[in-house]
Structure 1
Amino acid sequence: MSGALAMTAIVVVSVNLRPGATSVGPALEEIQHGLGMSATLAGVMTALPGLCFGVVGALAVRLAQRLGLTGGIALGLLAIIGGLVLRVLTGSVWVFLLLTLVALAGMAVGNVLVPAWIKRHATDGGERLMTIYSMGLTLGGAVGSLFVAPLIDHAPDGWRSALGVWALTALVAVVPWAVISRRERKDPADHRMPRVAHVGRMTSSRTAVALCVYFGVQAMNAYVQFGWLPQIYRDAGLSVGEAGSLLAMLTGLGVVGGLLMPMLIARSSNMSWAVLLLGVCMVLGYLGLWLAPASTPWLWAALLGIAGWTFPGAIAMITARTRDPQVTGQVSGFVQPVGYVLAAVGPLLVGVIHELTGGWSAVVILLALSGVVMTGAGLLVAKRTYIDDELHTA
């Protein structure tokens, strides 16, 4: 396979694994009004990405064992397209949520399988393709939230068009993966995910468990921000356009992190300084959001955006802390599903706490404390160790 085709495939899949989720937050109020959705169900909807990424992600490795890594990723893209198109055509809350699950399931498959695909096909250990992948994820998330307000204001169907348009970009993404899949069928080599020999329970690796917590806490914060941060800003007096732009800036800063973090992790033997710096940014960002959300909203969004560099960092560590592509797949299938299940709890609790307290203070303080937990877990994976070795000695 040519390097250009592999790079194109990673670019198009990565930018389509987030817009279907991040476009919901800025349009949450319009979705509630349009479908007659209660605040509790809105909280459930914001929890769906983490929950679905966790549950479906846990099954992704088995899917790849049957269809192959490429086939599994292509099937995930088809699920994204179907879910995003059909959910904007319904007037039923429950059908909307069910089809949202279908789209999120496709994203979950890509989340788990793409790092393993990169590890298998990369010639440099995965640094270049993981950098592209991380940047694509964050860019897709930023674009997904940035264009919601303009589409709501100017598109014929308002919020429905703002959510459904991302099916078109996913349709484009299917093309290179279909080409790769066709070429692999002609190749006698077996491109399925091998059934990994027993190398020890994943929980016996301290690094894998710490990476799971690190990934889970940052994912929880990310999906709380995707789902609720625009509403926090709107309740502080900002417009829907301003709130969406701030979320886009927050997620857009992740593009810089997606460029820097994989490179730093691949070339540094100790990332403790970066883990501490990002943790401090998260805590300060939430404290500012608590004390003065509308005075300098861009500053708090910027701090939280920089703290969000933990996401490309955690993703890059899946490949950087493993040697064998099979172990990479195992670690990805452990860290991401468990981490996203942890992440699913956050948005749901935010909805419940906000409804009980009628404000955002308790929510924001708890999120600041979660930054301390994330930093502690990150310090355990900051030094260069290999999960392969810990599993073999367990």
Structure 2
Amino acid sequence: MAKKQWTLSLILVVISIFFVALNMRPAVTGIGPLYNVLMTSLHVSNTSMSFLTSIPVFCMGLFAPLAVPLQRKVGTKSAITFLVAILVFANGLRLLQESYALLIVTSFAAGLAIAMIGPILNAFIKKKFPQRFTTVIGIYSFGIGVGATLSAALTVTFYQIFGNSWTVALGIWALLALGALVIWLWAIPSQQNEQVLKITTTEYARNPWTSGRAWAILLYFGLQTSLFFSMMAWLTPLLQDKGLSLETASAMLTFMSIVQMIGNIAVPMLMEKWSSRMVWILALGFVGLIGFTLLWLTSGVYLWLAVLLIGIVLSGLFPIGLLLPLDEAKNDLEANSWSSMVLSGGFMLSAIIPIMIGVCYDITGNHTWTYIIFLLLMVGIIVSTRLLRKK
């Protein structure tokens, strides 16, 4: 009976992690499907629109180091409760009015919360599931993928259902965060706070900021995250620039997100059988070069093939980025500090690319440099394997 009770409690923990993960993208990725709508409504430039993606991503990096002290101070349950509550308010505030300044403020708040949720959950998973953390990380990244897919699929739908109101289309995601908050409070035992406090104050952890290996992982994570957020922000306007309607472009973004969502759970499971991270990165890197070349140079049905290949690439690169610091960690405190460092630097690095794309488009009036930047990111990811091989 005890064994069954323990198994049930672990299942509830995994479910709660999944629902929290659902909320780690919609506040950011919900902007992309309505990119042109928002730009027209708010009368802002492409560069200004790029800040709505870059600011939360930069915040994800800037505030990630605060995850460790917050977890030490209040424990895992209370920390995640507080951070998910911030997501509830950040999304909910978008219901109030059509305001670029309000979008900036809520993007900042969402980025702050997401920044600390990631490292805390990474360490929590490492501690709670030491033998199967690869699988649970896969479920966690799957949840993130589902959240991104939902925002890609439903934001335009909500916009149309609620009388072309983009405030409702963006603000309605507060309900998803509220649901996750309730499930987390119900599923995680209160004593989890005491357990984390005890562990984090007695374990020793290597400093990742002095490790060349950690910096190599950070570079890889920054490149693949740049690719993800830039694609979520720019795929819809790229396709509209090729002559596709908002509905068709949104459908293709949804298709890419669904492919990515499936891969987020499938790739980590496959890695339990074929575990070489470097082989996976190289294979996905070359597939990405093909996908972005097709996206740039083709039209019609070939665009669907391009989106399929890019979705596969994004689905594999992200969970690898989560696993690499955990592979190096010797205990859950070290998992927290290494993940915090990698996510911090990686997200701050990746905040540059969406702005760069916006500036290039405002200057040139076309997306040639957008495609070149995407291809350079893929080349950088392939080259990063040389650094990651060095122990």
TM-score after normalising by structure 1? 0.90
Instruction: Name the CA distance, whole Å, in 2 between partners of 1:196 and 1:27.
Output: 48
Distance 2:261 2:386 in 1: 23
Q: Which one is further off, 267-276 or 246-255?
A: 267-276
Which of the numbers 261, 271, 278 marks the counterpart of 1:272? Answer: 278
Report the more deviating stretch, 1-10 or 194-203: 194-203
The residue number in structure 2 matching 1:35 is 42
Please say if 1:208 is aligned against 2:214: yes
Q: 2:298 aligns with which of 262, 267, 292?
A: 292
User: Aligned equivalents of 2:327 and 2:94: distance in 1?
Assistant: 38
Alignment of 1:149-298 (within 5 A): 149-156=156-163, 158-179=165-186, 183-184=190-191, 189-191=195-197, 194-195=200-201, 199-294=205-300, 296-298=302-304
* Partner Cα distance (1:296, 1:333) in 2: 39
Match for 2:350 among 334, 343, 358? 343
Contact 2:94 2:168 in 1 (8 A): no
Paired residue type of 2:96: L
Please give the per-residue CA displacement for 1:134-191, whole angstroms capped at 9, x wherever unaligned.
1111111111111122222222352222211211011010013223566227x85454
Does residue 1:92 correspond to 2:92, yes or no? no
Give 1:35 shift.
Answer: 2.7
Q: Match of 2:66?
A: 59
Comparing 2-11 with 202-211, which one deviates more in the overlay?
Answer: 202-211
Cα distance in structure 2, aligned partners of 1:26 and 1:368: 22
Q: What SS class does the counterpart of residue 183 from structure 1 fall into?
A: coil
Which residue is 1:352 aligned to?
359
2: CA distance, partners of 1:193 / 1:351: 45
Q: Tell me the SS of whatever aligns to 1:237.
A: coil
- Structure 2 CA distance for partners of 1:242 and 1:191, relative to 1, 3 Å: farther
Deviation at 1:259, TM superposition (A): 1.9
The code of the aligned residue for 1:263 comes to: M
Instruction: Name the CA distance, whole Å, in 2 between partners of 1:298 and 1:33.
Output: 27
Distance 1:378 1:146, change over 3 A: farther
Instruction: Quote the Cα distance in structure 2 between the aligned partners of 1:267 and 1:72.
Output: 34
| In structure 1, distance between residues paired with 2:132 and 2:370 | 40
Task: Work out whether residues 61 and 193 of structure 1, in 8 Å CA contact, stay in contact via their aligned partners in 2.
Answer: no
Structure 1 residue 111 and structure 2 residue 123: aligned? no
Q: Which runs of 5+ in 1 are unaligned?
A: 386-394
Aligned length, in residue pairs: 383
> Are residues 166 and 101 of structure 1, via their aligned partners in 2, closer, same or farther at CA, if it must alter by over 3 Å?
same
AA aligned to 1:226 is M
Report the TM-score when normalising by structure 2.
0.91
Contact 1:275 1:379 in 2 (8 A): no
Using the TM superposition, give the Cα deviation of residue 327 of structure 1 relative to its aligned residue in structure 2, in angstroms. 0.8
Counterpart of 2:318 (choices 292, 311, 328) is 311
SS at match of 2:63: helix
In structure 2, what is the Cα distance between the partners aligned to 1:232 and 1:363?
Answer: 9
Contact 1:219 1:311 in 2 (8 A): yes
Superposed CA offset, 1:99-127 (max 9, x none) = 22112222222222111111121252413
| CA distance in structure 1 between the partners assigned to 2:164 and 2:257 by the alignment | 26
Task: Decide which of 360, 368, 373 is 1:366's aligned counterpart.
Answer: 373
1-side partners of 2:67 and 2:228: how far apart?
22
Aligned-partner residue type, residue 50 of structure 1: V
Q: Distance in 2 between matches of 1:24 and 1:212?
A: 26
Structure 1 residue 206 displacement after superposition: 3.3
After superposition, the C-alpha distances for 1:246-272 in whole angstroms (9 at most, x for unaligned) are: 112212212232223323444445233
Superposition CA RMSD, Å: 2.2
Distance 1:120 1:336 in 2: 19
Instruction: Report the AA paired with residue 21 of structure 1.
Output: V
Q: 1:103 & 1:267 partners in 2: Cα distance?
A: 36
After superposition, what is the alpha-carbon deviation per residue over 1:221-254, rounded to whole angstroms, capped at 9, x for unaligned? 1111111111000111111111111112212212
